[in-house]
Chains A and B, each alone.
Chain A
Amino acid sequence: DAKTTQPPSMDCAEGRAANLPCNHSTISGNEYVYWYRQIHSQGPQYIIHGLKNNETNEMASLIITEDRKSSTLILPHATLRDTAVYYCIVSYPYNFNKFYFGSGTKLNVKP
């Protein structure tokens, strides 16, 4: 079962930053936070992951609170193509049988 809590849906205006929250209050010391997304009718796509420090790549930024009980995925300039379901997953690396995708957040980017 998912160890994370995400809002079921969010809206974002095209060109604005999308900030997707995730609560993971029971996260263990060495568990990572992973983010994937699934665009309609496609397979899930990896976005970013982190342990303690904030992370940034070409797709997004991941901000993890100091107590690690929550995190935020930031898409700096959302486009219509970012409309998707975003999954926040907490897991130990390679603990694949505990890699629960949950229900995710449906992000609707609007023109």
Chain B
Amino acid sequence: QSVLTQPPSASGTPGQRVTISCSGSNSNIESNHVHWYQQLPGTAPKLLILADTQRSSGVPDRFSGSKSGTSASLAISGLRSEDEADYYCAAWDDSLSVEVFGTGTKVTVL
């Protein structure tokens, strides 16, 4: 079950900034770290952001994460064609004792 809500799609032209939201609750996002994953077409997911704001090794600084209360966001600045992918947030849920993934956002570079 997805208890983290993301917009189904986002888009921008090359060079633009795109922001993806991830909405949860006080039992998941507000209480625990949020991680972000990028899934390029036909490949396994890849860790982008861990613990709300930390970029994973090798991830360009065009990617940044933030969190406030029960919501988190992933921002992609200087959008590039290779950023076309599905993006997922994830967090542990203390009430359910499960990990929950967001519904996923498909980013399109126009």
Q: Do chains A and B interact in one complex?
A: no
